[in-house]
Structure 1
Amino acid sequence: MISGFGYSQSGETAYLKEPRSLDVVFSPGIFIQKEIFTEANILLGTVYNNQSGYIPMVGATGFRVGIETNLKSNENFIIAPKLGYEISVTYFSIRLSALNYFQNKQSEFRLLPEAGISIGGLINLTYGYGIGFGQTIHGISNHRLSLSFNLNKRLWNAVIKGLDPD
């Protein structure tokens, strides 16, 4: 079992006082990177709902595994498996991903840092810049603007309904 770290302080929810098991979050998205791409990811980590204190912390953090594609056919089809880590809490979102684009017989590896705004980790709008290594696939820009959604019942309740996620 994977558990989160917590500490005790007056006014905190019981959620942060006890270790938490692994949360699974489905994270689809759409982004512009010279053309429109879609993505599907699974985030394995922790969903937070600490509404008390000076700075409320609501959102999700964890490791991501996923795939992105431009959904085109023939020689224009691009697909990229990826691994990364995300912190999307309260009003900000940051990610770091490693991905490999494939188009026909071409392949390009990139590191992709992203940063942006978030609505409680549920909705994220980020800008990223892909740092390429090796061969370049010309149909893909290094710049990207991404809109993604972290879909999880506990996260939804924490952000939309303001409920304790338990």
Structure 2
Amino acid sequence: MFKNLLFLLLVLITGPLYAQSGEQDSRIERKQFDDILFSPGLIVQHETFLEFNIMFGDVTAIDNGKIPVIGVDGFRIGVETNLRDGRHHTIAPKIGYEISATVFALRLSVVNYFQNGHSEFRVLPELGISLYGWANLTYGYGIPFNDGNLNNVSSHRVALSFNLDRRLKDALFN
């Protein structure tokens, strides 16, 4: 079951990486991720957590005068923590994929929470609003796959995150 779930998650995450190159040449090309962004954030889920991520993706900033296409998509790797000492300190490495363009944000991550010898693995889909990919406000629901008895991590969460890139900031503020 666990292997099947990981395979399904891998297919869902890597599916957008491949695109058809045209009708005449039907070979599949791998999409290039040329941009690296730092993506910090704030998460509220029973307690307040901070997140620190590095995103490997593509920044798109096309303003054609009618409907601007401004945003970012790519892989995120990072960590969440509640920055507490003692027995309630929680740290969670995670990996995922994000698409945030113009006004919508969509993210799918896998997270493993660790706290005092307990561990809890979750799949975390998130959906929300975006300000041209630069700032995202998302709601997520963590689907646990084991009971780690973590009392400070809720299944429901609200996250505010930023994709720090000059092109995204300029598109929003200029």
* TM-score band, normalised by shorter chain: 0.7 to 0.9
Root-mean-square deviation (Å): 2.2
CA distance in structure 2 between the aligned counterparts of 1:139 and 1:38, rounded to whole angstroms: 14
Q: Provide the secondary structure at the position in 2 that maps to 1:138.
A: coil
Aligned match of 2:155 in 119, 142, 146? 142
Return the TM-score normalized by structure 1.
Answer: 0.82
What are the equivalent positions in structure 2 for 1:27-106 lying under 5 Å apart?
A: 27-52=39-64, 54-106=66-118
Return the TM-score normalized by structure 2.
Answer: 0.79
CA contact (8 A) 2:33 2:56 kept: no
Further displaced range: 146-155 or 33-42: 146-155
CA contact (8 A) 1:117 1:125 kept: yes
Tell me the number of residue pairs that the alignment of Structure 1 and Structure 2 aligns: 148
% identity of equivalent residues: 51
What are the equivalent positions in structure 2 for 1:94-133 lying under 5 Å apart?
A: 94-133=106-145
Higher helix share: 2
Task: Note the residue ranges of structure 2 that are not aligned, 5 or more in a row.
Answer: 1-16, 22-30
Task: Note the residue ranges of structure 1 that are not aligned, 5 or more in a row.
Answer: 8-18, 162-166
Q: Deviations over 1:108-136 (max 9, x none)?
A: 00000000000000010000000001123
Q: Provide the secondary structure at the position in 2 that maps to 1:159.
A: helix
